[in-house]
A and B are shown apart, each in its own frame.
Chain A
């Protein structure tokens, strides 16, 4: 199945839950999905016989622009040997995305990392804590407008 077929199939099942299909950008095409529908879409992608995306290769958070954060899902199917990229845009003032932990347990740590470094909140993740930074760290470093805190527990941070 090529990306157009996948897109049409998703559009037929989920209608408004699926955003636009982006092709033509160099190297990789992607499909946009609504933040509140991502879990259902992912269950469908995993369990549908023609798709069988049984593995989540990578989940990345991206600071897209001044108002938007993006979560990018790179999926792979060991059964059918094809891949797919899904994106979810959320506004910076309310960055909440459904967790896909129930679909692929790989997502648990990846979502924690994305939460830690960008502040995207994954609803339904069983253990949404910081993972790489200390728990009492302030701010989310991968945001483009991030400014490092001056002191951390009495220690000077920027040098």
Chain B
């Protein structure tokens, strides 16, 4: 038999490629179909967020935070205003806290629905994508009747909110919960426990817990590796201590702890918990004025803070330095997707190239958040 010539192949995946979830370029070293090395190249969506903040007043930064992780704008804003409120010592009215919790949890559901739909799409299951976008649309409608915007809200202000919720908001949210709750079972039947889907995702891209912590993984990625850690419980901010909810972690149900399937499944289970939180909060929103604590001028004292919250993607932190003027001296955004993507080379070596798409999808990255 004649000798077969073999050599490594260098291939560009992206920057324009449907399974890279945005403009991301992966530089692959392949040996046949086996991935030897992955080098992510990012920056295609860099919009100089951090430089821009230095030329703006504090409230002007909020719309820019919306545009970082554009599937998740409410949570982006929250982390930022929370830091400023702590820095300035602003006590936020109870009503505002409740509305913020409801909004952030609705946003979590919307974000996870996109993760679910696009992930199914990656695996070749197109139908769940259509259903999940129908459900997401209902959430976006709730945001729209509240603040007029579907995606980029500028809703959380320092000390309060831009608008109060409309009179029919509570009944609409309850109607949404009623409609959405049975759909989670549908998603599980359609996708989560689908044999083909499990074959594609279980036991691929296993991320051991010690590597996850050392590499800075947060959010569903960390919990899928087996650590029961959620900032809402372990470093409670706002009024999360008042609610009764579980933190889903990976169990030995399907596949291995830390694999792609578990990363996906943690998100599904989180949606159930988000619904629980909304149910508890929606009927207890106290009366009050949502803008009573909004300062006329946002001028924090000299100081600095690192404030972080649990967004659907993981820990979003802002390191804000104030020099006592109306503009921030420095705002650094620690984006969860940025750190989670940096783990990709560690967990994809030795896998087939087709699996790489599933591993990348399971990290649920948003390039706007990575490139800022």
Indicate with 1 or 0, residue by residue over B332-348, a CB within 8 angstroms of chain A CB atoms.
10100011001000100
Cβ 8 A contact of A28, one of B42, B305, B332: B305
Contact check, A25 vs B304: say whether CB atoms are below 8 A apart.
Answer: yes
CB distance from A95 to the nearest CB of B (A): 16
Is A58's CB within 8 Å of the partner chain B? yes
Is A3's CB within 8 Å of the partner chain B? no
Contact check, B330 vs A74: say whether CB atoms are below 8 A apart.
Answer: no
Q: Which 9 A-B pairs have the closest CB atoms?
A: A26-B303, A106-B216, A60-B332, A58-B334, A132-B43, A109-B342, A132-B46, A27-B305, A105-B215
11 extra A-B contacts, CB within 8 A, seeds A58-B317, A62-B330, A106-B215: A26-B304, A57-B315, A58-B332, A60-B332, A62-B332, A74-B317, A108-B342, A130-B43, A131-B43, A132-B42, A142-B51
Residues of B within 8 A of A (CB): 42-43, 46, 48, 50-51, 86-87, 211, 213-216, 227, 229, 234-235, 301-306, 308, 315, 317, 319, 321, 330, 332, 334, 338-339, 342, 346, 371-372
Contact check, A72 vs B319: say whether CB atoms are below 8 A apart.
Answer: yes
CB distance from B241 to the nearest CB of A (A): 15
Contact check, B227 vs A78: say whether CB atoms are below 8 A apart.
Answer: yes
Cβ 8 A contact of B319, one of A60, A78, A133: A60
Is A41's CB within 8 Å of the partner chain B? no
Indicate with 1 or 0, residue by residue over A40-82, a CB within 8 angstroms of chain B CB atoms.
0000000000000011111010110000000010100010010
Name A93-117 residues within 8 Å CB distance of B.
Answer: 104-106, 108-109, 117
A117 CA / B333 CA spacing, docked (Å): 13
Is A19's CB within 8 Å of the partner chain B? no
A57 CA / B346 CA spacing, docked (Å): 19
Closest to B46 in A: A132
Contact check, A58 vs B306: say whether CB atoms are below 8 A apart.
Answer: yes
The interface centre, meaning the residue of A27, A55, A109, A141 with most chain B CB atoms within 10 A of its CB, is A27
Contact check, B371 vs A132: say whether CB atoms are below 8 A apart.
Answer: yes
CB distance from B299 to the nearest CB of A (A): 13
Residues of A within 8 A of B (CB): 25-28, 54-58, 60, 62-63, 72, 74, 78, 81, 85, 104-106, 108-109, 117, 130-134, 141-142
Contact check, A131 vs B42: say whether CB atoms are below 8 A apart.
Answer: yes
Closest to A77 in B: B213
Q: Which residues of chain A are within 8 angstroms of B51 by Cβ–Cβ distance? A: 117, 141-142
Q: Which residues of chain A are within 8 angstroms of B234 by Cβ–Cβ distance? A: 81
User: What are 12 A-B pairs at a CB distance below 8 A?
Assistant: A25-B302, A26-B303, A27-B303, A28-B304, A55-B213, A58-B332, A60-B330, A104-B214, A131-B43, A132-B42, A132-B372, A133-B46
Cβ 8 A contact of B48, one of A81, A108, A141: A141
Q: Which residues of chain A are within 8 angstroms of B339 by Cβ–Cβ distance? A: 106, 109
Closest to B341 in A: A109
Q: Which residues of chain B are within 8 angstroms of A133 by Cβ–Cβ distance? A: 43, 46
Supposing A27-B305, A106-B215 touch, asked if A57 and B317 sit within 8 A by C-beta, the answer is yes
CB distance from A47 to the nearest CB of B (A): 12
Cβ 8 A contact of A56, one of B50, B211, B216, B372: B216
Q: Which residues of chain B are within 8 angstroms of A131 by Cβ–Cβ distance? A: 42-43
A54 CA / B211 CA spacing, docked (Å): 11
Closest to B215 in A: A105
Supposing A106-B215, A142-B51 touch, asked if A27 and B317 sit within 8 A by C-beta, the answer is no
